[in-house]
A = this chain, B = another copy of it.
Amino acid sequence: MLPIAIDAMGGDHAPDEIIAGAHAAVDELGVEIVLVGRPELRDKIGDLELIEASEVIAMDADPAASVRTMKDSSLVRAAEAVRDGRASAMISAGNTGATMGSALLRMGRIKGVKRPAIATPIPVPGSTPTILLDAGANAECQPEWLLQFAQMGATFAAERFGISEPRVGLLSIGEEPGKGNSLVKQTYPLLDAADALKVGTFIGNVEGRDLMTDAVDVVVTDGFTGNVALKTLEGGMRTLVGALFEAFGSTEEAKAAAEVLMPQLLPLYSQVDPDSTGGAMLLGVDGICMISHGSSSSTAIVNAVRVTRELQDVDIVERLRSAVG
């Protein structure tokens, strides 16, 4: 198997956490990694392989313009490595839009795919995560794209989590058919058609409150709504977890009591921690492109590598190709 290319320059904690994660992935998982980044990284990466790239697309740079003009950026070079058969997949914790743009530009789309979508796992304590897509690739969508998101999302959930018949819901503001905005109303009959999904079952409209529950496996929406929902949930979790830690540290008694609870709380925390999920996958490009959270630690990178390898083992791109074919 070809090595997995990791963008060493992407993410809030790049390059140190990314490099540490790459080393840990090699040690723990026995996979081959090639880093992509500035030549001066050579001194820091030990015996890891490096594809040199002289430029870095900043986290807040304009994605389209950056990808077009920065041809020697780590992101574009990473996608190129996959295209040219130097790597089997790419992983980045960098600028999401530019990651997507690089993958789309260099790998191209799976034949028949109208638009790629970001599929993000939403943690569900005690159950498999819910796949939310599109989590931000396309701010404006057509009903036919959402049909393909459903097809790809169901296949992804089946392959990644071993769910034999994933339940696919359409995100709306009421469960009855006919509730929602015009995109939802136009998409509903496409998903409800008998032959819409080769894998999975359409269960109708679902609501935001279902995302973090076991009521649905795949939630389909446009990239604007999906990104708002994802970030709303992340922000809410961060606020609540922060307030909890503050409460736990507020008195000596509370500190001692919190200590006792840690064996119960840590597994829960690790279930809702974005670092644990292995990141999102860009579905619909002709190759594997994994998008890690911007705040990724070395642990997040190890998890992303592990998930990437699992997806390679099930030949995910071929599965997606036949899902939309």
Interface positions of A (Cβ within 8 A of B):
60, 124-126, 136, 139-140, 171, 173, 176, 179-182, 184, 207-213, 221-225, 227-240, 243-244, 247-248, 250-251, 253-254, 256-258, 260-261, 264-265, 268, 272
Contact = CB atoms under 8 A, between A and B. Distances in A.
Nearest to A179: B139
A247 B268 contact: yes
Contacts of A225: 224-225, 228
Contacts of A268: 243-244, 247
A260 B253 contact: yes
Contacts of A261: 247-248, 254, 257-258, 261
B260 A231 contact: no
A222 to B, nearest CB: 8
B254 A231 contact: no
A244 B179 CA distance: 33
Contacts of A212: 232, 235-236, 239-240
Top 4 A-B pairs, shortest CB-CB distance: A209-B235, A208-B232, A208-B231, A247-B264
Interface of A is mostly: helix
Contacts of A139: 173, 179-181
A229 B228 CA distance: 7
26 contacts: A60-B176, A125-B240, A125-B243, A126-B243, A171-B228, A173-B227, A180-B224, A207-B228, A208-B229, A208-B230, A208-B232, A209-B231, A209-B232, A209-B235, A211-B235, A211-B236, A212-B236, A212-B240, A213-B239, A221-B228, A232-B233, A240-B240, A244-B268, A248-B261, A248-B264, A256-B260
Copy total for this chain: 2
A239 B210 CA distance: 10
A223 B272 contact: no
A267 to B, nearest CB: 8
A228 B234 CA distance: 14
Between A126, A207, A257, the greatest number of chain B beta carbons within 10 A of the residue's beta carbon is seen for: A257
Nearest to A249: B264
Nearest to A175: B60
Contacts of A173: 136, 139, 223-224, 227-228, 231
A122 to B, nearest CB: 9
A240 to B, nearest CB: 6
A236 B123 CA distance: 10
B254 A260 contact: yes
